[in-house]
Structure 1
Amino acid sequence: MFPLIDLFAGPGGLNEGFSSVTAGEGEYAFENLASFEMDAYACETLRLRETFRHLTRTGADTSGYFDYILGRKPWSEIFQGAFAEAYSLSKDKVYRKVLGEDARPDVDNIIRQKLAQQEEGSHWALIGGPPCQAYSLAGRSRRTGDATFASDHKHFLYREYLHILSEFKPTIFVMENVKGLLSSKNGDDSMFQTILADLSALPSGVRYEIRSLVVDKSPSDLAPSDFIIRAEEYGVPQKRHRVILLGVRSDVASLMPRRTLQRADGVVTVREAVADLPAVTAATSNRAPKAQIDWAAAELAALEDVAKLEPAQAVVSMQQGQRAARAYSSWIRDSNVHKPAQHQPRPHMVSDLVRYRVMTALAERLGKSPKYTDLPSALHPEHSNVTKAGTPFTDRFRVQVWDAPSTTIVSHISKDGHYYIHPEKEQARSFTVREAARLQTFPDNYFFEGPRTQQFHQVGNAVPPLLAKQIGDIVAAMLSGVKG
């Protein structure tokens, strides 16, 4: 197995994909040596997943794991035998660290010890995605006019990734970030070009050939847009566009032919991802809207108006593919999980539930997600500028469309679910953690630790594991070629 080290690991999306790559009958291509992550709940998620991974790879009894994630037994009955042993071992693979200059000595020491246990000259891979808040379009928008933005340390956390490259010289690396990186600037400098320049001048002198995973071009011919991976083109039921760099150490680059991802035969839709989950409805929260109106009457009147609209012709916006859907289903489902965990909706205010129900009816009638300005005025949100021309975020309530991939699942889903409204009228509510996880391609046997808000946050911050698995297949093939 090829050693793997994961930086800025989040809940383990990249790691899950790479760790699922097989190299023959009963063999796995990668062994995770260490995952580094700052968030306490994400570390708990990573540790639990390492426990499951150890149990399945060693052929041990996994019933304790499923008892835990499905809530069938108390911890005192679960934490024994094979489960307890595997959980104890997992602590040596997950490290809660705030990556930065202060943590470098500890992190370097851990990595050095891990690599020393491998065969001398072993080829290995470094994966990870430095935090993206400083590069995302939303993050930049929120800090318009902020004089401290240019010096925000989040701009430069990628240097911790580059430090590991320089110090330990992995054979291959995979670095993921948001699409906004391509347009982000620090002062007058392009952050993307700055990162490429820093990669070409690592202090140790090690050099990497930077490749695209989507186009077969010489590195010198690559444009920034050639590094964008559109997840929906690779069997992920979500329009998630990310910048991913594949770096190959220059001394072995000639031994590794360029490889690119194979596009799926079509798209996997929201319907194919979540329609089979049990139908659930949301409770109402105690928070009352300022305007005291008869919400039931307002909803009834709005639905009567919707019924008068001319229905749109049914249009499937993207080509669907049966092979892609079957591959997705095989990846997601586990025969041990008959009723997936973490599928409880959060409560909503009555006013929002009414808006959701009317908007799902509108979406069905219009054949697309409406804007909140399409709602009757009585159902408009209580904002002073809601009816003004040029009001931003008129799509702040978004019904997801059944027969297309979803919009991007982002960490903001942890704050509210307005952008992720279930398309079925009878369920009109925001997505559950499990539905968000399905759209991110986390298997049904993947469990997220912490309160529901933190579970959402982890899901939104992750790399889709099914996409990561396809990248891992490429990296394993490349490393095998050098090893052979």
Structure 2
Amino acid sequence: MIDLFAGPGGLCEGFSSIFDETGARRFAVKVSIEKDPVAHRTLLLRAIFRKFPKGKVPSCYYDYVCGRITRDAFLEHPDIKDAAEHAAKEARCAELGVTPAKEVDGWIREALGNQTDWVLIGGPPCQAYSLAGRSRLRSKDPKKFEADAKHFLYTEYLRIIQQFAPAVFVMENVKGMLNSTNSGKRIFEKILADLKSPRENLTYEVRSLVVHKADGEELDPNDYVIEADDHGIPQSRHRVILFGIRSDVAKATSALANSPESFLLTKVKSKVGVSAALAGLPALRSRLSKEPDSQAAWMKALREAPMSLKGWRIPLRSDIEAAMRKFTKKAEAQTSFGSAFISMNVDPGEAMPKPLREWYLDARLGGVLHHEARSHMRSDLHRYMFAACFAATQKYAPDLYDFPPKLLPNHVNVDEETIPFKDRFRVQMGKFPSSTVVAHIQKDGHYYIHPDPAQCRSLTPREAARLQTFPDNYFFEGNRTEQYGQIGNAVPPLLAKQIAEIIYAFMSSQRK
């Protein structure tokens, strides 16, 4: 397997997480390429982790991620010396489209050897395809937006297909690419045509992983969209994922025609909610920003929150005000704002489904990584407390139309017919999958308010990682902002694992 635009390694993790009866990994990552130096450090660390059989990772890994030894001491440790050397050849820090193609091709050629049955995976950067990205970039400079190289980074992915002809490829991107245009033409139609016929004498069938249509029926662009929450991911994340099969391989695999439904993802009977995914993580208080922080000052800010309802004449005010006072009293128990590592026994109990417990937890870790709350302005704490109490009492998350006038951001007029970004402050409802975790979470936490009003905060990096289904022993390098960015940009590993199982079933099918 080769992974392009790998980020912190979400797709890699999923594909590497299925094992044969001997405990060996079904897929071996041979090359993964990521341009961001911090995400690359994360990718390299996980590549080292994967060099060892399940449950046999040396203790020095846990010593490093829990903060007991430095990164240098870890990389120099004799127990991981060979693994680190192999990982350095696998995880490459390079920018596709900038790093010379000859160099990139050399890495891939050396890694593949004579192998022709291999899988290419990856998701070209999606900023120019995303709805938010298009709105922001086009408004700043329309001409620059039209010329943005990010529209065409898929051609780097395409170039590897042209050069090396993988048996299978899996390409992931945002749903916004379906209606993204450049110079008046739909980008998705161009991408699909290119992937189906990359060059002369090389063609691919491009299939959906969720929809099968009878021969002769064309797939609709939306048929390529995978809704992650339909497949046990505790997050409403909709992504385009293309499953490409080299035509000669497709023709030789009779199971494609005889049982096409066996190569589709299976929907879960019931969706996984936020509370189930976050079960077992310790409750934290947030912190105050732009003023001295302390437990007493934080509590004072929370006690002031009900005063922000003054002048709000609406019947449900009394219920929300009562909830704000109740949860403020409960908040007195929240004394810790967390840390890079919290030593504890993580026990989610029955609140978390067994498959998720098996996926997330690692007893050897002995605690929780990256579980540290952000600092928030006093005014935002009042908004968070109100929004979370509104959700707790009314059973749905409020938008800015539901906010009392005193809690509206300064630039918003409650009398306006249309409020821009009306869901700017969004509570994650405990019983339902979260909203999409995106890289914007590194800017602020307003879209990701914790469902428990007594914690009065946005999600920590570990909570965001849980919603993205990264195992608890997955360590993200960099500062907290950089961790959020990596997590938001990733593919949920548990979804990637389900895709990998389909790809493996196909690759191991009998051929004519």
TM-score (norm 1): 0.90
Structure 2 counterpart of 1:177: 173
Instruction: Render the CA deviation track for 1:392-450: whole Å, top value 9, x for unaligned.
Output: 10110001000000000000000000000001011110100000000000000101001
86 and 27 in structure 1: CA distance in 2 versus 1, 3 angstrom threshold: closer
Counterparts of 1:338 and 1:426, CA distance in 2: 26
CA 1:287–1:388 in 2, change beyond 3 Å: closer, same or farther?
A: farther
Letter matched to residue 266 of structure 1: S
Among 472, 477, 480, which residue is 2:505 paired with?
477
- Partners of 1:382 and 1:323 lie apart in 2 by 39
DSSP 3-state at the match of 1:336: helix
Label 1:211 to 1:417 Cα distance change in 2 as closer, same or farther (>3 A).
Answer: same
Shift of 1:5: 0.2
> Does the residue aligned with 1:16 lie in a helix, a strand or coil?
helix
Question: Counterpart of 2:173 in structure 1: which amino acid?
Answer: N
1:129-185 Cα shifts (integer Å, max 9, x gaps): 011111111111112342221111100000010100010000000000001111111
- Measured in 2, the distance between the counterparts of 1:324 and 1:104 equals 46
Does residue 391 in structure 1 map to residue 401 in structure 2? no
Q: Size of the alignment, in residue pairs? A: 462
Cα gap change, 1:185 to 1:373, in 2 (>3 Å): same
Match of 2:197 in 1: 201
Partner of 1:462: 490
Aligned twin of 1:327: 355
- Matched with 1:419 is 447
Q: Which moved more, 1:265-274 or 1:215-224?
A: 215-224
- Which residue of 2 is the match for residue 308 of structure 1? 318
Residues 1:362 and 2:372 are matched in the alignment? no
**In 2: Cα distance, 1:219 partner to 1:47 partner:** 43
Corresponding position of 1:378: 406
Task: Return the alpha-carbon distance in structure 1 between the equivalents of residues 151 and 188 of structure 2.
Answer: 11
Q: Distance in 2 between matches of 1:134 and 1:379?
A: 33
What SS is found at the alignment partner of 1:393? coil
Q: Distance in 2 between matches of 1:310 and 1:427?
A: 16
Q: Which runs of 5+ in 2 are unaligned?
A: 293-299, 322-349
Q: What corresponds to 2:332 in structure 1?
A: none
Distance 1:183 1:220 in 2: 24
Unaligned 5+ runs, structure 1: 289-293, 312-321
- Cα pair distance change 1:475/1:275, threshold 3 Å: same
> Which range moves more in the overlay, 27-36 or 326-335?
326-335
The answer to whether the Cα contact below 8 Å between 1:211 and 1:219 also exists between their aligned partners in 2 is: no
- CA deviations 1:292-334 (Å, max 9, x no partner) are xx966751334797662499xxxxxxxxxx9993222211111
Question: How has the CA–CA distance of structure 1 residues 150 and 17 changed in structure 2, closer, same or farther, with 3 Å as cutoff?
Answer: same
Q: Which amino acid aligns with 1:280?
A: L
Contact residue 24 and residue 53 of structure 2 kept, 8 A: no
C-alpha contact (below 8 Å) 1:265/1:323 kept by paired residues: no
How far apart are 1:386 and its partner, in Å? 5.9
Question: For residue 20 of structure 2, what is the amino acid of its counterpart?
Answer: A
Q: Is 1:429 aligned to 2:457, yes or no? A: yes
User: Which amino acid counterpart does residue 120 of structure 2 have in structure 1?
Assistant: L
Q: Give the drift of 1:265.
A: 2.1
Query: Match for residue 328 of structure 2?
Result: none
Tell whether 2:17 aligns with 1:13.
no
Equivalent residue letter for 1:129: G
Kept in 2, the 8 Å contact 1:235–1:324? The answer is no
User: Judging changes above 3 Å, is the alpha-carbon distance between structure 1 residues 13 and 296 closer, same or farther for their aligned structure 2 residues?
Assistant: closer
Judge conservation of contact 1:252–1:482 (CA < 8 Å) in 2: no
The aligned residue for residue 287 of structure 2 is: 283
Instruction: Specify whether residues 323 and 199 from structure 1 end up closer, same or farther in structure 2 by C-alpha distance, changes over 3 A only.
Output: farther
The alpha carbon displacement at 1:350 in A equals 1.3
- Give the drift of 1:84: 3.8
1:156 equivalent to 2:152? Answer yes
Residue of structure 1 in register with 2:209 after alignment: 213
Inter-CA distance 323–232: structure 2 relative to 1 (3 Å threshold): farther
- Please report how far the alpha carbon of residue 374 of structure 1 lies from its aligned counterpart in structure 2 after TM superposition: 2.3
2:149 and 2:360 mapped to 1: Cα distance? 37
Name the CA distance, whole Å, in 2 between partners of 1:390 and 1:271: 32
> Which residue does the alignment assign to 2:30?
33
Instruction: Identify the range of structure 1 (378-387 vs 122-131) with the bigger mean alpha-carbon deviation.
Output: 378-387
Q: How far apart in 1 are the matches of 2:277 and 2:414?
A: 34
Q: Provide closer, same or farther for how the CA distance between residues 281 and 110 of structure 1 changes in structure 2, counting only shifts above 3 A.
A: same
Alpha carbons of 1:473 and 1:296: their partners in 2 closer, same or farther (altered >3 Å)?
closer
Label 1:219 to 1:398 Cα distance change in 2 as closer, same or farther (>3 A).
Answer: farther
Q: Percent identity of the aligned residues? A: 46
Cα 1:271–1:219 shift into 2, 3 Å: farther
Q: Distance in 2 between matches of 1:246 and 1:16?
A: 18
Change (3 A) 1:205 1:381: same
1:81 has 2:91 as partner: no
Q: 2:201, 2:146 → 1: CA distance?
A: 28
SS of 1:143's equivalent in the other structure is helix
The answer to whether the Cα contact below 8 Å between 1:422 and 1:429 also exists between their aligned partners in 2 is: yes
- Residue of structure 2 equivalent to 1:273: 277
Contact 2:131/2:176 (CA < 8 Å) preserved in 1? yes
**Counterpart residue type for residue 307 of structure 2:** A
Give the superposed CA RMSD: 2.3
CA contact (8 A) 2:5 2:33 kept: yes
Counterpart in the other structure of 1:317: none
Confirm whether residue 144 of structure 1 aligns to residue 172 of structure 2: no
SS in 2 for 1:368: coil
Q: 2:408 touches 2:414 (CA, 8 Å); kept in 1?
A: yes
Letter in 2 for 1:112: R
Shift of 1:385: 4.7
Q: Are the counterparts in 2 of residues 8 and 129 from structure 1 also a CA contact under 8 Å?
A: yes
Between 151-160 and 20-29, report the one with greater CA deviation.
20-29
| Shift of residue 483, structure 1, vs aligned partner | 7.2
- 2:191 is equivalent to residue 187 of structure 1: no
**In 2, Cα distance between the equivalents of 1:364 and 1:272?**
16
Q: 1:189 to 1:167 in 2, by over 3 A?
A: same
Q: Does 1:225 align with 2:222?
A: yes
Match of 2:129 among 130, 135, 155: 135
User: What amino acid maps onto 2:80 in structure 1?
Assistant: F
CA contact (8 A) 1:200 1:207 kept: yes
Distance 1:482 1:155, change over 3 A: farther
Structure 2 residue 365 is matched with structure 1 residue 337: yes
